[in-house]
């Protein structure tokens, strides 16, 4: 019997985390902090996000926060897509979308379409959504159908029909409901990286962060091996109780000064370079999604801003040269003859072993990087800085606190790495050596091997995700989305008819529910012209099934 969506039913158990504008409580505000001065080296997105997070809680308590930036080394200038956590960042600082989004040419992001990663018929394309309150009505059904499908039942298990975000993205709608519709949608953003940096810079200075332009040449260590000071080319020496390394891939403090060991992920993930080319927006609608398209030796991103598209090709230099990659990207974008300059970048994939080492915290590319397939780097920046503030507020800077903190960041890195690896492992392309090598790559973590084994044996993967570091990277529905979305199901000659217990949900009813919900969301381009204010009582609702 088909179970009605409208009848009372057991909904998915959701972990609902709310982030509101933070107020330093009276008792916390008076407790002494273990540091009196912080020096952030580096003024890219990592430097300014960290400065704002630290400023919010430390400056009111008398801590001096200074950011020093080189006049000659530029920022990386890419990194234009986010996860929904960025909304929590701005909310916690009390900065409205209506203020920062136009300043950064920002658009809304409902999720990511993965195109041509799989060659399995019907699964050539799928959408990885950001889950929301509304999905509480359809996520159980998706997971139920996917579990039946891995057991051979002929049921619809492609994720796209189950998530409102997939609908909105397919129709270029904004994830902002009309006033009367009570469902908040979890969404991310796209933005111009350089403009975001400038915006954050202005805000941080207005909130009391001191700013200095100087090129740091080296750090001097004290007898314990901690950083005593940093010297600048301009001649000055800068001292602080705590140093934050935001110098990008070069890791001037965490690596060059403290020699913190680095764990490379190059055996798990082959991509080590990228080429970026902007393209005009054109006359059509503005999409509310990132599109990631599998290419011959990697994948390309397409990110819509209000002023242009940001495009890039992430590839492996083991399999193709930067020139070949640029040519392929230009052909893909229809820009073979266009006089648009391309930017070539190298990427160091992996993480340091200790993000907090002695009196130095590494944030951003200096602490590590996983290729940008799911746009997670800003989330790492945010969580690394936010969690460090919590440690400072607890006042314990002992060895055990260091270890606990670093274990937490490392688990987040490993869980995210495994999710990204899954994209390459589940692909079914065999057209180039690159894809064949990815498909054959056996360098998978034990938790990921176990998870794939469970799936291929027709077992629920939810408990494994929740128990392992895998869940620190991505929630259960994301793991179901990637596996079901690429159509990697246990090999079977023929699918069988579902049992009565399996066929409990009606796809027609799910379609109808989403049809009726979708009318409450408007055109993306129109919404961006007049960004709605945060609704009273609105806060970031984070759903993890
Ligand atoms: C191809 C690619 C695509 C990406 N896409 C995404 C994405 O979609 N989403 C996402 O979240 N992230 C993405 N990222 C990551 C993102 O770009 C970075 O995490 C983010 O920009 C932060 O960089 P950063 O501030 O750590 O480093 P940088 O931007 O490199 O900044 C380094 C700063 O350090 C300063 N500096 C360097 N040396 C010195 C010195 N000697 N003295 C003083 N100052 C110094 C520089 O002046 C600069 O201000 C992407 C990265 C790459 C490579």
3-state secondary structure of 189: strand
490 alpha carbon to ligand 1 midpoint, in Å? Answer: 41
pLDDT tens, position by position, 437-471: 999 999 999 999 999 999 999 999 999 998 877 77
- Which residue among the candidates 36, 109, 173, 203 is catalytic per the annotation? 109
Q: Which of 140, 129, 163, 132 is nearest to 13 (CA)?
A: 140
| DSSP state for residue 3 in the 8-state scheme | B
Provide the pLDDT for residue 9. Answer: 36
Q: Is the CB of 49 under 6 A from ligand 1?
A: no
Residue 402 reports pLDDT greater than 70: yes
Q: Is the CB of 378 under 6 A from ligand 1?
A: yes
**Closest ligand 1 atom to 276 CA:** 1
| The pairing of beta strand 540-544 with beta strand 242-245 | unpaired
Q: Is the CB of 298 under 6 A from ligand 1?
A: no
> Please, what's the b/e burial string for 396-407 (b: 16 or more CB within 10 A of its CB; e: otherwise)?
ebeeeebeebbe
Mutate to test the pocket of ligand 1, among 190, 269, 365 (most ligand atoms within 8 A of CB): 365
Q: Whose CA is nearest to atom 27 of ligand 1?
A: 248
Q: Given pLDDT bands bounded at 50, 70 and 90, which one contains residue 264?
A: very high
Mutate to test the pocket of ligand 1, among 43, 44, 218, 257 (most ligand atoms within 8 A of CB): 44
Residues 349 and 260 sit within 8 Å (Cβ to Cβ) = no
pLDDT tens, position by position, 403-445: 999 999 999 999 999 999 999 999 999 999 999 999 999 999 9
Mutate to test the pocket of ligand 1, among 67, 79, 254 (most ligand atoms within 8 A of CB): 79
Q: Whose CA is nearest to atom 16 of ligand 1?
A: 79
- Strand-by-strand arrangement of the 309-315 sheet: 125-129, 111-115, 290-294, 298-304, 309-315, 273-279, 343-346
Q: Annotate 380-427 with three-state secondary structure.
A: HHHHHHHHHHHHHHHCCCCHHHHHHHHHHHHHHHHHHHHHHHHHHHCC
Q: Given pLDDT bands bounded at 50, 70 and 90, which one contains residue 131?
A: confident
Whole-model pTM: value is: 0.94
Q: Given pLDDT bands bounded at 50, 70 and 90, which one contains residue 183?
A: confident
Distance CA 390, CA 382 (A): 12
Q: Given pLDDT bands bounded at 50, 70 and 90, which one contains residue 2?
A: very low
Q: Whose CA is nearest to atom 15 of ligand 1?
A: 79
Task: Please give the average per-residue pLDDT across 130-147, as a whole number.
Answer: 92
Q: Given pLDDT bands bounded at 50, 70 and 90, which one contains residue 182?
A: confident
200 alpha carbon to ligand 1 midpoint, in Å? Answer: 14
75 alpha carbon to ligand 1 midpoint, in Å? Answer: 5
Provide the pLDDT for residue 506. Answer: 97
Q: For residue 348, indicate whether it is catalytic.
A: no
76 alpha carbon to ligand 1 midpoint, in Å? Answer: 4
**Closest ligand 1 atom to 379 CA:** 11
Q: Whose CA is nearest to atom 35 of ligand 1?
A: 42
Mutate to test the pocket of ligand 1, among 66, 78, 219 (most ligand atoms within 8 A of CB): 78
**Closest ligand 1 atom to 365 CA:** 26
Q: Which of 454, 326, 341, 390 is nearest to 24 (CA)?
A: 390
Count of CB atoms within 10 A of residue 205's CB? 15
Q: Is the CB of 247 under 6 A from ligand 1?
A: yes
42 alpha carbon to ligand 1 midpoint, in Å? Answer: 9
Distance CA 189, CA 197 (A): 15
Q: Is the CB of 43 under 6 A from ligand 1?
A: yes
- Residue percentage of the chain with pLDDT more than 70: 92
| The pairing of beta strand 107-109 with beta strand 188-190 | antiparallel
pLDDT tens, position by position, 90-119: 999 999 999 999 999 999 999 999 999 999
Distance CA 369, CA 273 (A): 12
364 alpha carbon to ligand 1 midpoint, in Å? Answer: 7
**Closest ligand 1 atom to 377 CA:** 11
Q: Given pLDDT bands bounded at 50, 70 and 90, which one contains residue 304?
A: very high
């Amino acid at each position: 019997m088909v179970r009605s969506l409208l009848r009372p039913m057991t909904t998915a158990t959701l972990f609902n985390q709310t982030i509101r504008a933070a107020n330093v409580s009276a008792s916390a505000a008076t407790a002494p902090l273990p540091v009196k001065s912080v020096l952030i080296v580096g003024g890219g997105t990592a430097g300014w996000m960290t400065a704002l997070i630290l400023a919010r809680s430390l400056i009111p308590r008398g801590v001096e926060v200074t950011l020093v930036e080189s006049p000659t080394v530029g920022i990386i200038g890419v990194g234009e897509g986010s996860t929904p956590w960025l909304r929590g960042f701005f909310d916690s600082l009390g900065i409205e979308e209506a203020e920062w989004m136009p300043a950064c040419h920002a658009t809304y992001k409902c999720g990511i379409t993965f195109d041509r990663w799989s060659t399995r018929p019907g699964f050539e394309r799928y959408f990885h959504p950001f889950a929301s309150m509304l999905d509480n009505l359809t996520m159980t059904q998706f997971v139920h159908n996917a579990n039946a499908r891995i057991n051979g039942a002929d049921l619809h298990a492609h994720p796209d029909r189950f998530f409102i975000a997939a609908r909105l993205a397919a129709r270029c709608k904004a994830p902002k409901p009309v006033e009367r519709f009570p469902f908040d949608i979890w969404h991310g953003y796209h933005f111009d990286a350089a403009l975001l940096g400038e915006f954050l810079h202005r805000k941080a200075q207005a909130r009391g962060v001191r700013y200095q332009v100087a090129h740091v040449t080296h750090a001097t260590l004290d007898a314990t091996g901690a950083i005593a000071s940093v010297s600048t080319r301009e001649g000055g020496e800068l001292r602080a109780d705590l140093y934050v390394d935001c110098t990008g891939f070069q890791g001037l403090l965490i690596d060059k000064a403290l020699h913190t060991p680095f764990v490379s992920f190059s055996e798990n993930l082959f991509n080590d370079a990228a080429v970026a080319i902007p393209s005009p927006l054109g006359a059509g609608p503005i999409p509310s999604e990132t599109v990631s398209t599998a290419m011959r030796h990697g994948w390309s991103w397409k990110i819509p801003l209000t002023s242009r598209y940001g495009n890039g090709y992430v590839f492996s230099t083991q399999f193709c040269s930067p020139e070949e990659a640029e040519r392929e990207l230009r052909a893909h974008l229809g820009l073979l003859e266009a006089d648009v300059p391309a930017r070539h970048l190298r990427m160091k994939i992996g993480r340091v072993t200790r993000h907090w080492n002695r009196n130095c915290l590494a944030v951003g590319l200096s602490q590590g990087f996983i290729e940008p397939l799911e746009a997670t780097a800003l989330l790492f920046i945010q969580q690394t800085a936010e969690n460090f503030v919590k440690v400072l507020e607890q006042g314990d800077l002992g060895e055990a606190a260091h270890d606990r903190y670093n274990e937490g960041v490392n688990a987040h890195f490993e869980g995210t790495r495994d999710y990204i690896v899954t994209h390459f492992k589940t692909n079914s392309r065999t057209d180039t050596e690159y894809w064949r090598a990815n498909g054959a790559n056996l360098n998978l973590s034990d938790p990921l091997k176990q998870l794939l084994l469970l799936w291929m044996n027709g077992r629920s993967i939810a408990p494994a995700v929740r128990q392992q570091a895998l869940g620190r990277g991505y929630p259960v529905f994301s793991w179901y989305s990637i596996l079901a979305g690429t159509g990697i199901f246990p090999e079977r000659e023929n699918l069988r008819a579902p049992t009565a217990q399996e066929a409990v949900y009606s796809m027609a009813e799910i379609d109808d529910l989403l049809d009726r919900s979708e009318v409450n969301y408007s055109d993306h381009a129109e919404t961006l012209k007049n960004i709605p204010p945060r609704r009273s009582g609105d806060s970031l609702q984070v759903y993890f099934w």
